[in-house]
Amino acid sequence: MPLPSHLTIEIVTPDRAIVHETVDEARLPGAEGYLGVLPGHTPLLVTLQVGEIWFRRGSEKTWLHAAFGFAEILPDRIRILARTAERADEIDLERAEAAASRARERLATTSGDVDFERARIALLKSLSRLQVARRIGMRAAGKR
């Protein structure tokens, strides 16, 4: 089978389908670390962590925040089923910042395992959101 030259990437959440595009390269937050995917990747099924996804088409990169779920990778296709996912421009910076400081506070004060784990995940999520949101901020500044 000849190697495909492009990847079709689909990102869906329980609410909606977010992305359906043809791209050249993508990177996802896999269970054991970030993984880059190029066309012709071995079929792979991977669970996702909290983190950022990006995909590139030509020289244009798009960032997303995603948390949990899994991805099915085929030589010519990536299907991502995320529990939550947001495009960089959909992220509410102020809300994410507020969530981050709230989570930090709770991490400092709580002791129970469950609460601690929850706060840790909340912090991870908000940090990832912030990071993704800043990416487009950086790009906009670079163009100016």
Partner 1 sequence: MPSLIDLRRRIRAVKSTEQITKAMKTVAASKLRRAQDRIVGARPFAQLMRRVLSDLATRTGEAAAHPLLAPPVAPEAPTLLFLVTADKGLCGSFNSNLIRQGATFAVESDRKVAMGLVGRKGRDFFVRRGVDIRFEMVNLFNDLRYGHAEAMAETAIDQYTSGAASGVSILYNEFKSVMQQEVVVDQVLPIPALDASEGEENDAVSADYLFEPPAERIFSDLLPHHVETQFFRALLESAAAEHAARMTAMDAATRNAGEMIDGLTLHMNKVRQAAITRELIEVVSGAEAL
Segment 46 to 65, residues that bind partner 1, using CB under 8 A: 46-47
Is 98 a binding residue for partner 1 by CB under 8 A? The answer is no
Tell me, rounded to whole angstroms, the distance of Cα 21 from its chain centroid.
Answer: 16
Per DSSP, 102 falls in state H
Selected binder of partner 1 within 2, 43, 58, 142 (CB under 8 A): 43
CA 111, CA 133: separation in Å to the nearest integer? 31
CB of 15 to partner 1, least distance (A): 6
Selected binder of partner 1 within 31, 93, 98, 138 (CB under 8 A): 31
CB atoms within 10 A of CB 124: 16
74 vs 130, which CB is nearer to partner 1?
Answer: 74
Tell me the CA distances in angstroms from 50 to 22, 60, 67, 75, one per residue in order. Answer: 24, 23, 4, 24
**Residue 38 DSSP SS3:** coil
Selected binder of partner 1 within 3, 38, 44, 98 (CB under 8 A): 44
Give the range of 11-19, 59-67, 116-124, 125-133 binding partner 1 by CB under 8 A: 11-19
